Amino acid sequence: MKHFLETRDLSIRASGLELDFPFLRLEQGQTHCLIGRSGSGKSLLATALAGLRIPGIRTSGQILLDGLPSASSLWRDHVFLLPQEPGLALDPTMSVGKQIAEVLKWRQAADCVWTDAGALAREVGLEDADLTKMPAALSGGMQQRAMIAIALAARASFIVADEPTKGLDTHNKARVIALLKKLQSLERGLLVITHDLEVTRGLADTLSVIDAGRIVEQGPAARILGYPQSAAARSLVENEPAQWPSRVRSGKVKQDPVVHLSAVDFGFAPHHTLIENVSLEIRRGEVVGLFGASGIGKSTLGDLCLALNTPNKGRLRWHGNLVTQRLARRFRARFQKLFQNPVAAFPPNLELATVFKKLTPVAQDAPLLSDLLQALDLNEELLDRRPDQLSGGELQRMAIVRMLLGQPDFIVCDEPSSRLDTTVQRQTLDVIVADVRKRSAGALLISHDLEVLRKRADRILELTEAGTLVPLKEEEVQGRAA
């Protein structure tokens, strides 16, 4: 018997956001995608469909499994939520391998073809050595793949996947799409929430477009993406990175290097070098793109630039000065990082207004704060909320506001648009690049998306599996991004 999941006159209210979802029917073996602007309510729907009860969220209408209310005792065996923040879903005190093994022991699906944690890990592109690590020791993309391994094994008729390819490079994104297709072939029903239209094209049978809490277009995915009728759908299609205007190279790049790595080696464990003989110079007014596979060490290289890691060999200079512990403490506020996971960058129990007032450099500059919020399309009312009351995209933009308020000399932007829809993604990167140009700062822009880097970075470097940096030529970037 095939199961079906449906909503009827579903209404969700939370923190000033209203979401109305009149009707959705999802059957096993089908994939429905939900796309829309950041903060429009997509993750609220995922939470409701998973049967989670969260304080402060008011729900009316019906969510039915085989015609029965979601309070049915069978609900937990039928719906699996693949959350947007895998680092929060994984147990921080247990190795990844043990967590996967727990699912195989207690919650394994009858049709699961993988016999052990190692087989599941290899299926999603993780190595056996990764199974011994704690979640915090994995990159964001590797955490995502660990959660997908658990989803593959878990007993469920339906998978609700909230941004399942966020933070993944092209190769691993294609792998995840293939794995989700495999789930579909195993007669799992899929609801995929994504801002990535490439994922939508690769997976969706049907599609819903949500805008400001309302469904503005619904139907076959091929028709909507090929001939969008609503303004929201047209905006998403027209603002894919491939459609962005070509970058304008900075005319303000100065010869003075802000950051200079010289012949740097680094590894977390003895006899295991992650970064090898890397030299990198980023000048004032320059945006340098850093590309590489998920988990290869891009964030680690950014941390080396910020003196958050100490090289095993080689030297780091800021403004020509050798960086010592004393100098790093003195100039820390001028060398900032935009973290890949914005949830981890904010105290969870403080309202954002308190964070900006007490913990953020130059936060008293009210006009600058107001200007940045407006430039990033953020309502000032969001400052009265805690981090968990914002969407992933809204919180990511708040992290950008917080970083730019400090007016740093150098910034490492680690996947700054990975949680943003195409419209907001372009707007956000333009704000960051414009700030770097205006103040003659420097920036390292880390991304798994070559098209984004091609359109917004002055030059692009690739971090290879050998731990070395290789400059990418324009024609090579164009060919690989296509």
Same domain (yes/no): 94, 20 = yes
Q: Supply the pLDDT for residue 264.
A: 94
pLDDT at 383 over 60: yes
Same domain (yes/no): 261, 231 = no
Q: Supply the pLDDT for residue 76.
A: 66
Final residue before a domain boundary, out of 238, 269, 299 = 238
* Domain of residue 51, CATH code: 3.40.50.300
Contacts of 306 (CB under 8 A, 6+ apart): 335, 336, 337, 410, 412
What percent of the chain has pLDDT above 90?
Answer: 36
Same domain (yes/no): 348, 217 = no
Contacts of 353 (CB under 8 A, 6+ apart): 383, 384
Tokens matching residue 335? 């060398």
Please give the tally of structural domains in the chain. 2
pLDDT at 337 over 90: yes
Rounded CA-CA distance 423/320 in Å is 38
In a domain, 155, yes or no: yes
Q: Supply the pLDDT for residue 181.
A: 87
Placement of tokens 């995915």 in the chain: 221
DSSP-derived secondary structure for 123-163: HTT--GGGGGS-GGGS-HHHHHHHHHHHHHHB--SEEEEES
Same domain (yes/no): 152, 276 = no
Nearest by Cα to 8 from 79, 59, 80:
59
In a domain, 422, yes or no: yes
Q: Supply the pLDDT for residue 293.
A: 83
Rounded CA-CA distance 24/477 in Å is 41
Tokens matching residue 10? 């579903």
Contacts of 320 (CB under 8 A, 6+ apart): 256, 257, 260
* Contact (CB, 8 A) for 446 and 415: yes
172 phi/psi in degrees, rounded to 5: -75, -25
Same domain (yes/no): 177, 293 = no
Same domain (yes/no): 233, 285 = no
Tokens matching residue 86? 């895998």
pLDDT at 315 over 60: yes
Rounded CA-CA distance 387/378 in Å is 14
pLDDT digits (tens, 9 = 90+) for 94-140: 999 999 999 898 888 877 888 889 998 998 888 889 999 999 888 77
Rounded CA-CA distance 119/130 in Å is 12
DSSP-derived secondary structure for 166-204: TT--HHHHHHHHHHHHHHHHTT-EEEEE-S-HHHHHHH-
Determine the average pLDDT of the residues in 454-470: 91
How far is residue 362 CA from its own chain's centroid?
27
pLDDT at 464 over 80: yes
Q: How confident is the model at residue 221 (pLDDT cuts 50, 70, 90)?
A: very high
Same domain (yes/no): 307, 446 = yes
pLDDT digits (tens, 9 = 90+) for 37-84: 877 778 788 878 877 777 777 888 888 888 877 655 556 678 888 887
pLDDT at 265 over 80: yes
Query: Which of the residue ranges 281-285, 294-298, 376-380 has the most confident prediction, judged by mean pLDDT?
Result: 281-285
In a domain, 250, yes or no: no
Rounded CA-CA distance 361/116 in Å is 49
pLDDT at 271 over 80: no
The angle that helices 366-375 and 392-405 make with each other, rounded to 10 degrees, is 140
Final residue before a domain boundary, out of 207, 238, 269 = 238
How far is residue 406 CA from its own chain's centroid?
23
Placement of tokens 């590894």 in the chain: 267
What percent of the chain has pLDDT above 70?
Answer: 94
* Contact (CB, 8 A) for 66 and 145: no
pLDDT at 402 over 80: yes
Q: Supply the pLDDT for residue 139.
A: 78
Q: Supply the pLDDT for residue 125.
A: 84
In a domain, 419, yes or no: yes
Q: Supply the pLDDT for residue 184.
A: 84
DSSP-derived secondary structure for 218-261: EEEHHHHHHS--SHHHHHHHHTSGGGSPPP---S---SSEEEEE
In a domain, 247, yes or no: no
More confident residue, 175 or 258: 258
Q: How confident is the model at residue 13 (pLDDT cuts 50, 70, 90)?
A: confident
Same domain (yes/no): 168, 309 = no
Domain that holds residue 86: 4-238
In a domain, 297, yes or no: yes
* Residue 124: Cβ within 10 Å count: 23
Residue type, 399: A
How is residue 383 annotated by DSSP? G
Same domain (yes/no): 369, 225 = no
Q: Supply the pLDDT for residue 124.
A: 85
Same domain (yes/no): 267, 234 = no
In a domain, 243, yes or no: no
* Mean pLDDT value across the chain: 86
Tokens matching residue 129? 């050595």
In a domain, 245, yes or no: no
Tokens matching residue 369? 């704060």
Q: Supply the pLDDT for residue 295.
A: 78
Q: Supply the pLDDT for residue 304.
A: 96
Q: Supply the pLDDT for residue 252.
A: 55
Same domain (yes/no): 435, 397 = yes
Same domain (yes/no): 113, 144 = yes
DSSP-derived secondary structure for 62-117: EEEETTEETTSTTGGGTEEEE-S-HHHHS-TTS-HHHHHHHHHHHSB-TT----SH
Burial 192-225 (b: 16+ CB within 10 A, else e): bbbbbbbbbebbbbbbbbbbebbbbbbeebeebb
Q: Supply the pLDDT for residue 68.
A: 79
